[in-house]
Amino acid sequence: MKFSIKISLFLIGSFFFCSCKKETPIITQESRVTHSWKLRFQGSDINNNGAFDQNEKNMVSDSAAFSYQFKSGGTGFRVGNNSSFIDTLTWYFVGDNGMHINLKSQGIEQSLDYLYEVGTDEITLTDTAQKPAFFRNFILQ
């Protein structure tokens, strides 16, 4: 009798242990963007075809590169290479693929509107207000 109770308790415990699933983290629009991103290349859509062709991409040297650090809650920083400058920023999403950035640098404020596209380890910000459209591509730091 004691043996069957032990077996029953073991089977019940095993069932509950095995049936517990690990929760899959929820990937949100914000969680995909809130990272540190280093500028890799930039350029303009010179031929106005709506795509950034290889000949329109200009690699950025490490000495000229900067990074955006987007923090959760809509704050962050723009940081120059070797922390040569640190600017504060606020940001928020506009619709499904828009991002607005307010950048404050040495008392001067800039208001920037971008279309954004996020991959696994890169983000591209496109300023469509300029003609031709200007883009910057960043890699995950």
pLDDT of residue 18: 54
Range of the domain at 120: 24-140
What pLDDT digit, counting tens, does each position of 42-62 carry? Answer: 999 899 888 889 999 999 988
- With cut-offs at 50, 70 and 90, classify the pLDDT of residue 68: very high
Structural domain includes residue 123 = yes
CATH number of the domain residue 34 falls in = 2.40.128.270
State the total domains in the chain: 1
Per the CB < 8 A criterion, the answer to whether 59 and 74 are in contact is no
Long-range interactions of 125-132: CB distance < 8 A, separation 24+:
125/99, 130/44, 131/48, 132/44, 132/45, 132/46, 132/47, 132/48
Share of the chain above pLDDT 70, in %: 84
Structural domain includes residue 7 = no
Structural domain includes residue 48 = yes
What pLDDT digit, counting tens, does each position of 8-49 carry? Answer: 555 555 555 555 556 777 779 899 999 999 999 999 989 988
Phi-psi region of 5 (alpha: psi -120 to 50; beta: other; left: phi over 0): alpha
Residue range 92-113: average pLDDT?
94
Structural domain includes residue 5 = no
